[in-house]
């Protein structure tokens, strides 16, 4: 069997553009948004397995948020 993949490679105009790391504030904002989404999913979940899933996800995100907040405090 012969499979042919067509790939188009595009290079950015500025090669340094791909090397930009997210800032601590960006990570905190993304984590806060993920928490909002997880809480909304938890509020709408009806299946017991999904409720458990959201509980674990929320706990993990809360720990990540606390860690990032502590890092932000030490960098001030």
pLDDT of residue 14: 63
Residue 3 belongs to some domain of the structure:
no
Domain that holds residue 49: 20-75
Residue 24 belongs to some domain of the structure:
yes
- Return the closest-CA partner of residue 39 out of 54, 49, 24, 50: 54
Residue 55 belongs to some domain of the structure:
yes
CA atoms within 13 A on the CB side of 37: 8
pTM > 0.75: no
SS3 49: helix
Domain count of the chain? Answer: 1
Position 1 pLDDT exceeds 60: no
pLDDT of residue 11: 63
Residue 5 belongs to some domain of the structure:
no
Residue 9 belongs to some domain of the structure:
no
């Amino acid at each position: 069997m012969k499979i042919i993949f067509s790939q188009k490679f595009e290079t950015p105009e500025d090669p340094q553009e791909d090397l930009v790391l997210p800032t601590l504030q960006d990570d905190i904002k993304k984590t806060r948004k993920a928490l909002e989404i997880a809480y909304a999913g938890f509020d709408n979940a009806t299946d017991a397995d999904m409720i458990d899933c959201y509980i674990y996800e929320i706990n993990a995100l809360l720990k990540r948020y606390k860690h990032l907040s502590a890092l932000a405090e030490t960098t001030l």
